[in-house]
Structures are given as structure tokens and as C-alpha cells.
Structure 1
Amino acid sequence: MPRLFGTDGVRGLANRELTAGLALGLAQASASVLTQGRRAELRRSQGRRPVAVVARDPRVSGEFISAAVAAGLASSGVDVLDAGVIPTPAAAFLIADIDADFGVMVSASHNPAPDNGIKFFAFGGTKLPDEVEDRIEAYLDRDVLMPIGGDVGRIRRFADAEDRYIVHLLGTLPNPLAGIHVVLDCAHGAAAGASPRVFTDAGAKVTVIGAEPDGININDGVGSTHLDNLAKSVLEHGADVGIAHDGDADRCLAVDKDGNIIDGDQIMAILAVSMAERGVLTDRTLVATVMSNLGLRKAMADNDIRMVETKVGDRYVLEALGAGGLSLGGEQSGHVIMTKYATTGDGILTGLHLVAEMARTGKSLAELASVMTVYPQILVNVRGVDHHALHSDEVIAQAVTDAETELGDTGRVLLRPSGTEPMVRVMVEAADQATADRLANALAEIVRERLAN
């Protein structure tokens, strides 16, 4: 049986794979697992019940799924603070801010509206390690907590949830955003309330698009996966910068005043150089995944900044940040983590600090982004192959060596097996697109021939 939890919680088509019954069961199982230990024992000895924050993005299925989650928690003796529609990073922040025992976010991030997901955060607002998720999954088949009378949990509205989060964000800024015109694309998602407020309060002139969620339009042609409308709006309004969030606002991508896309790698490069200059980049180190562009590696080397690489996935970035006590990391997708202020990626926080650097330096976003040269990159997915044999095939290994020799220090080759299906991902970066395309397609064909099932 496949693992229920994926790379970021449990996701599926709402009311098909992700039902109210499953949401209720997961909530009850999480209550059994996440209320164990000394902390929970101390609360009980003081006559207090465990507390959980529950939040969601605005997709319509979130209403019944979050209700089922709250019911499952309360029926297990957990007091629920219902924060309503707020960004994922806001939920994580609030768990730590009010000293809650854990929290649940109902969201499918950048996925279309029919999908939904459930992700759990531990005490302190941190994501759960795999082994804890596995324990929750295992508890789905066990007896659940069934208190009675006054021991059942209460469900209350978390009335000032968004206000607390906005005050926190404003408190992180090194300088105001005065003089900067920002277009915000809120993806008709969870950022629609908080992001325009916080950018305005920080001093920016703000134009907003994608901020009319109706439950079914989340990520629909807007947000960080659809940047054309943002670029068009920036040009139409003569704005200085555009900031795009995804549905649950844990990501940030940008466009400059000419409508050019600034991706997560470029954003990390800008923030890393700024933080290093100001002496707040811990150990002058940036954490990024193996998929980050070669240009980021070269930019960091040119600025005497060390770069630590991880596997693809924000949880691996978080692990490396925590292990080294580091302050900045992220992914090309715009999932950027600033550990001084957040326990997960925060698209609003990232956008604020990116625009703050424009205000601080007086430079345009294009000027700031010029610290990094983006190398042409192509990714080819080779499906239906024996991906487990990838690293033991000598012919493939020699083909990779030959490609790397041709590229020298002007490019990079990465072959990696999928962790979930019989597929190999072939990625090539080169000084020009034609070379990248040629080498990637040639390597993909060799993989297809050598590992065919």
C-alpha cells in the first residue's frame, strides 16, 4: 500500500481521495500522536487540554475538510482555534506565537481548486519528520482518544489570527518600502487578505490583482504558476516590481518593471548578497537544492558565499538549515525560508524583504538580479524505465561524463531517479539553449534505451 503522506502532507481530489471521513480520521490520529510526551503530560497535570490551530486556504472544499479536522480534534480532547483563511506560513507562525501544541493547514498550495490537502505542524510551527507522519498514518487503524463530558475539546474562532501575522511581518523589515510601486498577484488564494495590507502598511504603493477568491478560482490563470497577467499589469501600471504568491502563499516569484521573470534562485541570490553585506547571513551560507541554477552557484562563489546543496524538497532545505543553524535557503520555485522569522517558506515575507532591498539600495529589481546570470536549463522526464538501475549503468555514467567534459565549467548535468514513479529526470544547463537541448535529449535517449522496462 503506498504511503498516504506525500512530500507535503496528504493531498488528493477533494471528496474523492481526500474525504471528510479521511480528514476526521487523520485529525483523530494526529491527536493521539502529537499530544504525547512531557509537554502534554504537564498540560494535563495542570487541568488543561492540548491546543491546536486549524487554518485553510479559500478553496470551497476547505470548508468541509477543515470542519472535519476540527471535529476530529475536538472529539479527541483537543481545543481548536479556528483561524479561518490565512496563509500556510501564518498558521505555522501562530502555532509558535500562542504556544499551541500543534496545528493543521488545509490547502493544496498551487494545485487547482478541485484538489485539497492536509498538512500538520508540530509544536513551534515546524513540519513533521517522516517518522511522525508514519505514526499518524499507523494510528488510522487504531483506537482513537474518546474523552467524554468536560474533557472533550472546544472549538473557538481565532479572531486576531491575521492581525498577529501582519504585525509579525512588519516587525521583520529592515527598512520601509516607501517609493516603491508594487503589483501583488494573490492567486485568488490565502494571501488575498494579508499581503495587500502588509505591503501597504510597510509604505509601498500597492496595486492588487488575483485577490477576489470565490472558492473555485484559486490559482486559475493567476499566481506564481501563471505570471503573464502579473507582467502585463506591471507594464500597464508602470510599477517597479510585481510579486506573485501561490494559493497558500508559501511561495514568491517576481517580475521586474519590464515584465521579466525573477525566479526563486534569483530572489535567493539577491537576499543572500544583501544579508551577507549586512552581516546577517549566518556563516555566509545559502542552502539550495540540486535543481538550483548553475548561475546561483557561480554568483555565490563570486560573493564569497558558501552554498549547501540538498535533495529536492523544502523539507530537506529545512533540515539542512536546522542542522547548520543557518538563516537562508530555498528552492527555484520561490519557496524561500528565512529562519530568523519563519519556520517554513513564506511568500509574503520573501516579497517584503525583496522589495525592502530595492528601497534600501535605490536599485531596480533588474539591477539587483544582475548579481546572477541565469544559465539555460532544460529538464527532460524519461518515463517507464527502471529508475532504480540508473546509478549502476556504466554506459549512462560514461555518457554523463562525456557531456560534463564538453560543458566544462559552462554547464552542468544532473540525472536523478523519481522517488514515486518509474521515471528518470535528465537536467542539463549550458551557456546556450541549443547546447542544453542537444545534450539533454541525447542523454534522455540513452537512458530510455538502457533502462527500458
Structure 2
Amino acid sequence: MGRYFGTDGFRGEANVGLTADHAYTVGRFLGWYYGELKRQKGDTSAPRVVIGKDTRRSSYMFEYSLVGGLVASGADAYLLHVTTTPSVAYVTRVDEFDCGVMITASHNPFYDNGIKLLNGNGEKMDEKTIGLVEDYIDGNLTAFGKKWDSIPFATKDSIGCTVDYVSGRNRYVGYLISLGLYSFKGMKVGLDCANGASWNIAKSVFDALGATTYVINDEPNGTNINNNAGSTHIEGLQKFVVEKGLDIGFAYDGDADRCLCVDEKGNVVNGDHILYVYGKYMKDKGELVNNTVVTTVMSNFGLYKAFDEAGIDYAKTAVGDKYVYEYMTENNCVIGGEQSGHIIFSKYATTGDGIMTSIKMMEVMLARKKKMSELCSPLTIYPQVLENIRVTDKTAAQNDPDVVAKVNAVADELGNTGRILVRESGTEPVVRVMVEAEDKETCRNYVESVIRVIKEKGFAAK
């Protein structure tokens, strides 16, 4: 974790943890840094940075602040306006921008916001460059072999300009439509846009592919993003699908880089279901490269049992789609993701893409001529209990011999009927204890037994 940027960008309450000054400073650095990289190679052209934002009230403030910093440092800023995170990644890569910026706090409430940085390949920015951004924010920047007490402003015709680039977003919509291998005609589809970035994209894609599309939470007002809506509040879509008699429903988060589904019976289809359904579909078609699906340590035990039965290998990474993508690129894997609905199809995208995930799930339904409930039926999701305990020292608590012994004992007792996972929070003084087993009571008893040892050893914070 960096000083400001976590695994998913610089995030905080607008004008409290993340201010307009922060955004301006980030813009100043990016405009100067990418210009300097060009100058080092003898290229005097202005760096090009593409920017998207979600529907939060504060997103305009951060957009204007970023643009001010970028053009003051000599970069040209291209504005996609309200759009999704994966669209920024797509445009950055395809149109060869120096970098991309998405202004969003994803599934967080409206009063939070964030800045996600993408490299020229549309991938999440590397840690070295993030570190330089943070150094500049702290006034302690060393780059290109020297220490910079300040970075120069652009002057005269070197000052950057702002370009309306809504055409880039429109081409991304066209790209999504092109991924539809089957007509959706005759399919009744529900979409929950979370009053977020997908509100003006998702329906147009499904309509173009022939679906009869029903949409909820597509009236953003700046303060209702994710408010009892979208993938974090999927109960609304569950009710909607059943009441309308729909074939399938898809729910997105605020920036639409994740997707959860609701089957025709109103059951939630989470990221683990999606990985199973599409992973098996790819294996059956002979397209599952390395016969491997990439998951995180938080994927359900039932998913791994279903993969074993289907003869599919799997990898487990740390929590975060960033780590999933890194593993996928290093090991040439084609599908991976998180239980929360970040699903990455590396042949088509460099990030999780909620709308793309929807299209891919429709593809399996239409190719197999099966309902979503039928496709998910071989996968049994095991009950799970997760408890957080605040501690004085996360590392010491996890590595204590008695705690380790208890965790190992629980793992031995569960055997192949469940699993235990103990991990520390990346942002809080908290240890998370999670158990999955065949019934909830067993989960709870094992979790409590581990927490009891942590407390007995004196690690619980008062």
C-alpha cells in the first residue's frame, strides 16, 4: 500500500481525505512527467492524457482540477465525460494515450471519490510511477537523476489544451456491441446501473444486440450513486427480475468495472459463479489456455470443489483485481476475477468490465440454450462466516505460535469439507478470520475458537 494510493487508486471523502488540491497536484505531476519522458527521447510533442469520471457530484470538481494541473504542465487533456473505468482503459490502450485517469470511488457512497491511474496499455499504473506521484505530493520528488524542489510550468504555446473526446466513449460502446456473438432477440434482460457510470452505456449496448431491456437506477443526480442500488445492493434487482419475469438481470457498481447477476428465479450469481460458468464454457470449447482460472483467496471453497470435478485448474492471488491481472499476464491466463464481480477476460480487456461480463454470460446462455440457474447448478456455494478482530499488531497476532497452531488444527479438522483463511486488513489494524464449511454453525464455532486464542494471547485492541 502506498501513502495515498491503495490497490484501487487514491480514494477518500471528497475534500477531506482527497481534495481538489490533490487532484491538481496529480495532474501537474502527470503532465510534467510524461512530457519529460518524451523529452528524454527527443520527442517534443505534448503528452496526451484521457480522463473519465463517474456520476458523483464531486467528480466535476476533480476533473477540472486534474485538467488544470495537466495543461499547466504542458499535457493535452482528452475528456470522455461520464463513462466507465473499463472504457477509459480501452481508449487509453487503443488510441495510444500516454496514460489514463478515472475519477471514481467505485462502489463507495457519493461523498467519497477517487483517482485511478492507468498506464499507456490501459493497465493499472505501476508502483514505481505511483511512488513518484506520492513523492511529488509530499514535496520530496527525485526523478530523472535529480531532486526537484518544484517542477516547471508550461508557457506560451507549450501550455496544454483540453479536447472533448466523447467519440472515444462511443467507439468503446461499438466495441462492446461487436463482442456479442449471438442476437439477444427474445431475451428479457434487467439492468441495474447503480445510478453510476453505466447509466448511459449499458442499455444502448443491450438494445443494439436485440434484447428487450428493462433498466433500474439509471437516473443519476450526483448523490444517489450506489444508494440502495447496483451490485452492492442487489436485492432490488432480485425483486425486479422476479416481478417482471425476466430471463436474467445484471447489476453494476458505480464505475461499472464489476458485475453480479440475478438468475431467472431471483438468485444472486456472484463472481465465483461467473468464473465457474465461463471457465467451464471455455474448457468445453478448448479455449481455456493452461486449463487455469485465476481467483483470489476469498473465492468460495465450493468453487474449487466444482473446478476439481470439472477438471479445471486454478490459481489463488491476494485480494484485488490488480493482483489477478498481474498473475494472468505473467502466466498467460485468459480468465480470472473476484467473488465481488471483477471479472477479467484478458483477450478483450485489461481490467474488470461489468458490461462485457454481462455480454459473456449472455453468450453462454445462448450457446448452451440453458437458463442461468441451470448453468450454475453444479456449483454449491458453501456457508461462510467472516469476523474481524481489531488487534494491536496484525503481524504478531497472525504469527503467534498458539494462533498458528489453532488455525492449523481447524484446517486439519475441516479436511476436504471446508477451509479456514486468516489474513490482515490492508488498511485497518484488523485481522480477518474466515471459515467456510457445510453449515453455518460449524463455521461460526471455528471462527470463534480462533478469535478466542487471539484474545487470550493479548492481541485484541482495547
How high is the TM-score relative to the length of structure 1? 0.96
Partner of 2:311: 304
Partner of 1:347: 354
Asked if the contact 2:31/2:71 (under 8 Å) is kept, the reply is no
1:219 to 2:204 alignment: no
The 1-side partners of 2:286 and 2:74 are apart by 46
Asked if the contact 1:182/1:240 (under 8 Å) is kept, the reply is yes
Partner of 1:163: 170
Asked if the contact 1:34/1:122 (under 8 Å) is kept, the reply is no
In the TM superposition, what are the counterparts of 1:11-410 in structure 2 within 5 Å? Answer: 11-37=11-37, 41=40, 45=43, 47-140=44-137, 141=139, 142-410=149-417
3-state SS of paired residue (2:123): coil
Asked if the contact 2:89/2:122 (under 8 Å) is kept, the reply is yes
The 2-side partners of 1:25 and 1:425 are apart by 35
The 2-side partners of 1:237 and 1:283 are apart by 41
3-state SS of paired residue (1:334): coil
Q: Shift of residue 357 of structure 1?
A: 1.0
Partner of 1:420: 427
1:411 to 2:449 alignment: no
The 2-side partners of 1:199 and 1:439 are apart by 45
Asked if the contact 1:180/1:355 (under 8 Å) is kept, the reply is no
Q: Shift of residue 17 of structure 1?
A: 2.0
The 1-side partners of 2:212 and 2:320 are apart by 34
The 2-side partners of 1:351 and 1:448 are apart by 44
Asked if the contact 1:270/1:371 (under 8 Å) is kept, the reply is no
Q: Shift of residue 40 of structure 1?
A: 5.9
3-state SS of paired residue (1:188): coil
Gap regions ≥5 residues in structure 2: 140-148
Asked if the contact 2:35/2:74 (under 8 Å) is kept, the reply is no
Q: Shift of residue 67 of structure 1?
A: 0.6
Partner of 2:5: 5
Asked if the contact 1:107/1:117 (under 8 Å) is kept, the reply is yes
Q: Shift of residue 105 of structure 1?
A: 0.6
How high is the TM-score relative to the length of structure 2? 0.94
Q: Shift of residue 401 of structure 1?
A: 2.0
Letter in 1 for 2:30: S
Q: Shift of residue 8 of structure 1?
A: 0.8
Partner of 2:142: none
Gap regions ≥5 residues in structure 1: none
- Cα-to-partner distance string for 1:222-274 (whole Å, 9 max, x where unaligned): 00000111011101110011100000000000111111111111111111111
Letter in 2 for 1:124: N
3-state SS of paired residue (1:156): strand
3-state SS of paired residue (2:219): coil
Identity %, equivalent residues = 40
Letter in 1 for 2:134: E
The 1-side partners of 2:158 and 2:76 are apart by 10
Q: Shift of residue 151 of structure 1?
A: 0.7
Asked if the contact 2:422/2:431 (under 8 Å) is kept, the reply is yes
Asked if the contact 1:285/1:305 (under 8 Å) is kept, the reply is yes
The 1-side partners of 2:404 and 2:359 are apart by 44
The 2-side partners of 1:35 and 1:121 are apart by 16
The 1-side partners of 2:443 and 2:279 are apart by 27
Q: Shift of residue 448 of structure 1?
A: 2.5
Letter in 2 for 1:151: S
Asked if the contact 1:270/1:369 (under 8 Å) is kept, the reply is yes
3-state SS of paired residue (1:31): helix
Letter in 2 for 1:99: E
Q: Shift of residue 63 of structure 1?
A: 0.6
Asked if the contact 1:177/1:203 (under 8 Å) is kept, the reply is yes
Asked if the contact 1:382/1:448 (under 8 Å) is kept, the reply is no
Asked if the contact 1:35/1:101 (under 8 Å) is kept, the reply is no
Asked if the contact 1:189/1:213 (under 8 Å) is kept, the reply is yes
Q: Shift of residue 419 of structure 1?
A: 2.6
1:452 to 2:460 alignment: yes
- CA gap of 1:4–1:181, structure 2 versus 1, over 3 A, is same
The 1-side partners of 2:312 and 2:177 are apart by 27
3-state SS of paired residue (2:226): coil
Q: Shift of residue 36 of structure 1?
A: 4.5
Q: Shift of residue 172 of structure 1?
A: 2.2
The 1-side partners of 2:32 and 2:444 are apart by 51
Q: Which moved more, 1:162-171 or 1:215-224?
A: 162-171
Letter in 2 for 1:281: L
The 2-side partners of 1:448 and 1:179 are apart by 58
- Aligned-CA RMSD value: 1.6
Asked if the contact 1:57/1:247 (under 8 Å) is kept, the reply is yes
Asked if the contact 1:330/1:337 (under 8 Å) is kept, the reply is yes
Asked if the contact 2:32/2:75 (under 8 Å) is kept, the reply is no
Asked if the contact 1:77/1:145 (under 8 Å) is kept, the reply is no
The 1-side partners of 2:338 and 2:39 are apart by 35
3-state SS of paired residue (1:224): helix
The 2-side partners of 1:391 and 1:168 are apart by 46
3-state SS of paired residue (2:316): strand
Q: Which moved more, 1:52-61 or 1:145-154?
A: 145-154
3-state SS of paired residue (1:160): helix
The 2-side partners of 1:163 and 1:23 are apart by 26
- CA gap of 1:385–1:180, structure 2 versus 1, over 3 A, is farther
